[in-house]
Structure 1
Amino acid sequence: MHRLQYTYYLNYFTGLLFMVILLSGCSTTRHLKPDQSLYVGTSYEFDGYKSRHAKREVKSIVSELQPKANKKFLGLKMKLWIYLHSGDTTKKSKFNKFLRTKAGEAPVFYDAEINQQQSNVVETHLYNAGYFTAKVDAAAETKNKKTKITLNVKLNPPYKIDSIFFPQGTNDLYKAIRMAGEETELERGDIYNLENIRAEKERIAEVLRNNGFYYFRSEYLIFDLDTNKRNYKFNLYVNVKPTTPYEALIVYRIKDVYVNTSYSINADSVVLVPDTIKGEPLYYSASDKSFRKRAIGRAIFIRKDEIYSRKNHKATLGQFMGMGTFKFVNVRFAEADSVTKGFLKSFINLTKLPRWTARLELEAVSKSNNYIGPGLRVSTRNRNTFRGAELLVFNLSGSFEQQIGKNTGGVNSFEFGPEVEITFPRFITPVYVSNPVGFYTPKTRIVVGYNYLKRSGFFNLTSLKLIYGFKWKESLLKDHELNLININYIRVSNKSDAFQQLLTENILLQKSFEEQFIAGLTYRYVYNEQLIPEKKNQFYFMGSTDLSGNTISLLKRVIEGRKVNSENPASLAGEVYAQFASFDLEFRNYFNLDQYQKLILRVFGGVGIAYGNSATMPYLKQYFSGGSSSIRAFRARSLGPGTYRDSIATSSFFDQGGDVRLEGNLEYRFRIGGMFYGALFYDAGNIWLLKENPQLPGSQFSNSFLNELAMGTGIGLRFDANFFVLRLDLATPVRKPWLPKGNRYVIDEFDPGSSAWRSENLLLNIAIGYPF
């Protein structure tokens, strides 16, 4: 029956789509004037020389040519069709106006001038890519009032670098340029590329500015080409413009440094007196006692009598900005003497933020296990706790949450907890570690927190945590987080009879709840190209590891001479401690198709290995799959492990945990209008156990894991107000791994007209923020 319904819907949809194609294909040109035709795009062909490099360059510029033909969706110009059939917008019809201006798209007409414009653009691009003799001719062909342009590209081989010559001479500037040339990124045999030439100019100029040439700019450099060579080669000569101002030709030194920690544009200037910070002479405000001078000195890399360095300039600016204590930071330079050149005064002006702030926040809590509800957070901040720009934060939060979705049983929870966090703008370590010289400020974090969680009908959970670690940025795109101490102590109490029965029936689950003292080390690395908004293809990588219990086990062996094992686990302060190692990898690619469309591919893999004192991973460190940020066609944390399916778990609170997690997501995001966005997505993944568990048949990870992946697809609606994103994702399963082999794909049972099917297979995820 289901297969007949599926075939009926498929045939109906195919026929409807065919009719729409016919109608839209005809009606988009029917109303054009006799001398009008639609521009439908540009193609190209090569005449003579061609190579992969040439094809890549031509393809890249042709894809950017203007004008752009009317957009297509599933091969149809639907937006153009809507525009042409939106009616008379001069009448008082808001709906017609919306169709034409928002949903529709005006026709793009062909004009003869486009031929020459596109030819010129492609020729210029090819010249800048090394094809100095390129010739491009355009020809237009019109059929059925649709015009397509074909570019005929005539090329000779591209010009390549033969040799690079830097200026000779004994003055400081020429020496510095030759020094910079030793690390040039241009190499013999490279094809000429204007962007690479510009980048090399800027690199040399930056090297010069780091070596005292304060006023030097990249536009003062000339790169001359000598193409009078055979075999399409050229020599490159680096020179300095004769019109370069004198100030840019000499090295500048720092004469004096002035530091004003109470700067305000609305107040009288502060008297700065000679002082010394960390042995370095400068001018400082004697009246301002807000900061310890040593704390200010740590952020200053500009030194009296040293040559000017752009790197130290930017490092000083970044260090003060990274402290989080100053509202305004300005580091500027001025000539020390209008007559005698070569000396600069440095002025570091700092405007403080209020030391104390308090905030009351009403939150909408959304968690990965589909718990959602109101939350309240009270936060107090002290931005200069010990007069060293230390940030002290006290948080008091509470929330009441209800688990939403099908078959959740209406489980609710109450959570409450205080937390104290202090952040130091430097490394604080048992052994001395120098703070890096750079734009970004390293941070040391100490966190102490308490949390009480009540899950109605199951248990109460009390937890304590202590974190001591560091955060630092290697660059704009690279972040590191290392926690040398990461301790969690969790105690479960008031267990209900139903929950106690679950523990009794599953020994490994019981052990995972017993081993609730977790002490170890964690490390996380993130590389994120989303911080470069103009990049079309943005890559994201996250790698993390969590090592727990190893130090304690080593001390047990050294001090007590005991080799720990899971059969007779050792304890610390009367509590069994966990010993494990986990490793996570996550890859994402954000393909920005245009300003309002993007395609996201995500792959996640994680494994947790219990050993030594533990037979299984602690419950809080296990992996879970399913939910609003995972496999959205399945209830939160309900999947797996493997092909196992617990009928009790699927209708109650209890989550399915595992040692291995694999997930893949493909999502297409597009703008609907205003702050509303849509999405189409496809998810796949599951969790598994590393060791066989007789109570959970089919849960062990094996080489047939690909056949045990759950799959789902769906559509999404998002309200994106920049500072707040409300997300609705409606999903349905494509493959259910717990079904018998051969019957796991369920897409052929698609029957949205059946209430029973909808109840079993449609899942609405409500969440805050994007899934990834």
Structure 2
Amino acid sequence: MKKHLTVIFGLIISLGIYGCSTTSKLDPEDQLYTGMKKIKFYDKDNSQHAETTISNIENVLNASPNNSFMGGTKQMTFIPPIGLWMYNKYVDDSTGFGKWMFKRFATKPITIKSVNPKNRCLVAKSILNEAGYFHGSTNYEILTNKRNPKKAEIKYYVTMGPAMKYGEIMPLNASGIPDSIKTKEWNFQFLKPGAPFSIEDMKREREAISSAMRNDGFYFINSDAIIFQVDTLIKTGFASVKTTFRKDLPKEVFHKWQTNKISIVMNGLEGQTPNNEINYKGLKVRFYGKKPPVRLGVLRQHIRFKEGKLYTQFDEDMTRQALARLGAFGGMEYRFIPDTQDSLTSFEDIGKLNISILASQDKPWDASLEGSFKIKSNNYMGPGLKFSMAKRNVFGGGEKVSFDIYGSYELQAGHRQQTGTKFFDMNSYEVGTSLNFTFPNILWPGLTDRYYFFPTTTNFQLSSSMLNRAGFFSMVNLGLNAMYEFQPHSQHKHTIYPIKLNYNLMQHKTQKFEEILQDNPALRLSLRSQLIPQMSYTYTYDNYFSKKRAHHIWFELGFSQAGNIINALYSLGPKRYNETKKILGVPFSQFVKATAEVRYTFNIDRNQAIATRLGAGAIYAYGNMDVAPYSEQFYVGGANSIRAFTVRSIGPGKYIPNKNNKYGFLDQSGDLKLEFNTEYRFRLIGDLYGALFVDAGNIWLLRKDINRPGGSISEINGVSDFFKQIALGTGTGFRYDLTFLVVRLDFGYGLHLPYDTGKKGYFNVPKFKDGFGIHIAIGYPF
């Protein structure tokens, strides 16, 4: 072992001695780029327009050097520049070993010439001009390293000055356009008198005008046909804008067009040429085989064009989206061909368009094998494996059938603040399977082939799983779900579960677990074998895609009930309402449950935001069972909750488990939940962001429980006692934005525990070391 260590140490020393240069192979007239100083902005205002312009300039000027940290603009000296060492040592090496080392480990130096600050300044100046800062300027300075002249930094200087504003804005002269009400009475959406000048807004306005005209039948118009003539001499500091058409446009641009013949051509799965043809409600369908791959009714509903109707951009966009959502086609090409038999002599003449859609079928089968290693907020961790198969367009309407089989193994490790004990002993495994039928519509008589503007889904699922918690219990779960999800508007979504049936069968319990249940009667009832016949409705509002991006509001309201209909039917018989009744040999749950959560994010500027969340929930069990299923109860703590505490380590109320019972946390769930979170997010360096947060909340019981004293809402003695029962934590975190996902690390610290810890005062965490919670997660907490 010592010999091996000596060899490794010798190799490291050799690399340090013979490969320490990072600049030896540079062009004599070039320098190694080691980063940039903070950009110096002069004469800037505090408007949102200026913030947007500055952000665009930073995106152009920012450049990461070798050995940067998370996309930052500084070279990190604490990171060994191994890639540069390998480049300078082996770039000219012709030996096999040298070529292998160069290919595997070398990193090409980023130099001042490759960064090209002069061109970056020119682009930044262009951005200033496009944003109306016509008197602005950009410059840069090369800061040579005093100890090594072959290394240098860049410092940029940007002078903004006053922004030009819009003065008078004149609409299109529509006298030569036939009856285009939308154009003649056009209300500018992005160009407003007094607003900052912006080329980007002009582009958006052109798109809006051309889109409005296309929705009025002018198929051949596009944004390039519209130009703005800008005059900055009429009034100092203001730009007068005149909207007009580009000269020498073809005559087709100024004519309306209506849909004539409509056809769709669908090749075979192997690209075979169609050999069949059917005319269905004004749609010519050509296909290969004995029947079309997509039902005729579905095609007619999803192709929004109608013969004799004026062409609109809206119909084209909706047709493209609708056919793509079916998932039956791998590619589509749209052809709009003017009918040459028609002659257009005057502006009032309406042309005719023949529309042909060429579609290739997608492969029907998908298969995937997915491996994972999960680290959960409740300290469970372990590997998992999942195999999936799916067949698309099963019934000719874009339906999908999928089959999943999965398995995972987990173990839990952690530290309990109440008991001060560490644990690493709750091993478990889970295996399961599910069968899903997914329909891109509302599966209901009369609604099956109907077209919907926004994504609509019907899903039926059969599932089964077995969970084995080593040393405690094994449980089998069988599920049957039916779900409808639809959006009447882009910001409003409705989710309905008319059937959500779960059958939980406790197969085996160890003596240890029996002792735990003996000490926790409520837990025994909530974990018993039972049937959960549930129905639920959820409404979600999300304005993320609205114009006001600075203010993002997300709101969700859910309501569910279980067992009420079945119990009412049973009550018609000899059994009493409150008498426990069974189905399949087990009692069924009966409860009502409501949840509400609102999230608000205010984007202060390009680099910082404040996000808040307020959530509440309540569940009330009665009738056939007066304890809600364990899976339906509420808890707090963990990576997406109160981050200073682990999952199920707080509540209910001011209850604290017996310090001698390390499994007492199993009882820390409740019927009522209240939680509040706020977080200040800010950019640190490159794609690395920081956060400061405060979390508060707790859970309570709706009924008194002698085994959990102080846990019920009725045991709160006034407003002061209520606030004392709100757990409070704070902390800081880091978020690394990889564009497609966010990796999050949070360090929480508890400030207040909702029970008597023996320490006086509001900040009652007994020991400093016991107040920490560390969480690694994917995505933002809210």
Task: Measure, in 2, the Cα distance between the counterparts of 1:496 and 1:84.
Answer: 52
Cα distance change on mapping 1:678 and 1:92 into 2, 3 Å: farther
Q: Is the 8 A contact 1:115 1:149 kept in 2?
A: no
Q: Is the 8 A contact 2:132 2:198 kept in 1?
A: no
1:322 lines up with 2:325 in the alignment: yes
Partner of 2:726: 708
Task: Measure, in 1, the Cα distance between the counterparts of 2:117 and 2:409.
Answer: 63
Task: Measure, in 1, the Cα distance between the counterparts of 2:564 and 2:446.
Answer: 19
1:374 lines up with 2:383 in the alignment: yes
For the residue of structure 2 that corresponds to 1:494, the secondary structure is strand
Partner of 2:335: 332
Partner of 2:184: 178
Amino acid at match of 1:414: Y
Partner of 1:206: 211
1:657 lines up with 2:669 in the alignment: yes
Q: Is the 8 A contact 1:608 1:617 kept in 2?
A: no
Residue by residue, what CA displacement relative to the aligned partner does 1:594-635 show, whole Å, maximum 9, x if unpaired? 8xx987846351312316546554321122223344445533
Within-5 A mapping of 1:210-609: 210-223=215-228, 238-262=243-267, 267=271, 269-271=273-275, 273=277, 275-277=278-280, 279-285=281-287, 287-289=289-291, 290-337=293-340, 340=343, 342-406=351-415, 407-429=422-444, 432=447, 435-438=450-453, 440-472=454-486, 480-513=494-527, 516-525=531-540, 527=542, 529=544, 539=552, 541=554, 543-549=556-562, 552=565, 555=568, 575-587=587-599, 589=601, 601=611, 603=613, 605-609=615-619
Task: Measure, in 1, the Cα distance between the counterparts of 2:700 and 2:612.
Answer: 23
Cα distance change on mapping 1:99 and 1:217 into 2, 3 Å: same
| TM score, norm. by length of structure 2 | 0.71
Residue by residue, what CA displacement relative to the aligned partner does 1:90-138 show, whole Å, maximum 9, x if unpaired? 864999xx999899998999999999998886565336xxxxxx75689
Q: CA deviation at 1:458?
A: 2.9
For the residue of structure 2 that corresponds to 1:423, the secondary structure is strand
Task: Measure, in 2, the Cα distance between the counterparts of 1:120 and 1:670.
Answer: 26
Q: Is the 8 A contact 1:368 1:628 kept in 2?
A: yes
Cα distance change on mapping 1:235 and 1:141 into 2, 3 Å: closer
Cα distance change on mapping 1:607 and 1:239 into 2, 3 Å: same
Q: Is the 8 A contact 2:365 2:389 kept in 1?
A: yes
Structure 1 vs Structure 2 CA RMSD: 5.6
Task: Measure, in 1, the Cα distance between the counterparts of 2:125 and 2:778.
Answer: 48
Q: Is the 8 A contact 2:62 2:73 kept in 1?
A: no
Amino acid at match of 2:587: E
| TM score, norm. by length of structure 1 | 0.72
Task: Measure, in 1, the Cα distance between the counterparts of 2:81 and 2:372.
Answer: 42
Partner of 1:126: 132
Q: CA deviation at 1:422?
A: 0.4
Q: Is the 8 A contact 2:138 2:156 kept in 1?
A: no
Residue by residue, what CA displacement relative to the aligned partner does 1:467-487 show, whole Å, maximum 9, x if unpaired? 222234567776553323323
Task: Measure, in 2, the Cα distance between the counterparts of 1:649 and 1:259.
Answer: 70
Q: Is the 8 A contact 2:428 2:470 kept in 1?
A: yes
1:61 lines up with 2:70 in the alignment: no
Task: Measure, in 1, the Cα distance between the counterparts of 2:678 and 2:107.
Answer: 34
Q: Is the 8 A contact 2:117 2:140 kept in 1?
A: no
Partner of 2:620: 610
Query: Which is worse superposed, 708-717 or 398-407?
Result: 708-717
Q: Is the 8 A contact 1:556 1:563 kept in 2?
A: no
Task: Measure, in 2, the Cα distance between the counterparts of 1:498 and 1:390.
Answer: 48
For the residue of structure 2 that corresponds to 1:298, the secondary structure is helix
For the residue of structure 2 that corresponds to 1:465, the secondary structure is strand
Amino acid at match of 1:610: Y
Give aligned-pair identity as a percent: 19
Task: Measure, in 2, the Cα distance between the counterparts of 1:118 and 1:420.
Answer: 55
Q: CA deviation at 1:331?
A: 2.7
Q: CA deviation at 1:580?
A: 1.4
Cα distance change on mapping 1:299 and 1:740 into 2, 3 Å: farther
Partner of 1:10: none
Amino acid at match of 1:319: A
Q: CA deviation at 1:548?
A: 0.8
Cα distance change on mapping 1:103 and 1:672 into 2, 3 Å: farther
Task: Measure, in 2, the Cα distance between the counterparts of 1:383 and 1:113.
Answer: 50
For the residue of structure 2 that corresponds to 1:201, the secondary structure is helix
1:640 lines up with 2:657 in the alignment: no
Task: Measure, in 2, the Cα distance between the counterparts of 1:93 and 1:715.
Answer: 41
Amino acid at match of 1:418: T
Q: CA deviation at 1:445?
A: 0.9
Cα distance change on mapping 1:486 and 1:154 into 2, 3 Å: closer
Unpaired runs of at least 5, structure 2: 1-30, 92-100, 147-153, 345-350, 416-421
For the residue of structure 1 that corresponds to 2:77, the secondary structure is helix
Unpaired runs of at least 5, structure 1: 1-32, 47-51, 128-133, 751-756
Amino acid at match of 1:664: N
For the residue of structure 2 that corresponds to 1:219, the secondary structure is helix
Cα distance change on mapping 1:137 and 1:661 into 2, 3 Å: same
Q: CA deviation at 1:401?
A: 2.2
Q: CA deviation at 1:177?
A: 1.8
Cα distance change on mapping 1:508 and 1:295 into 2, 3 Å: same
Task: Measure, in 2, the Cα distance between the counterparts of 1:403 and 1:654.
Answer: 14
For the residue of structure 2 that corresponds to 1:198, the secondary structure is helix
Partner of 1:9: none
Task: Measure, in 2, the Cα distance between the counterparts of 1:149 and 1:718.
Answer: 28
Cα distance change on mapping 1:524 and 1:644 into 2, 3 Å: same
Partner of 2:8: none
Query: Which is worse superposed, 381-390 or 545-554?
Result: 545-554
Amino acid at match of 1:213: F
Q: Is the 8 A contact 1:206 1:310 kept in 2?
A: yes
Q: CA deviation at 1:216?
A: 0.6
Partner of 1:42: 40
Q: Is the 8 A contact 1:80 1:104 kept in 2?
A: no
Partner of 2:98: none
Partner of 1:27: none
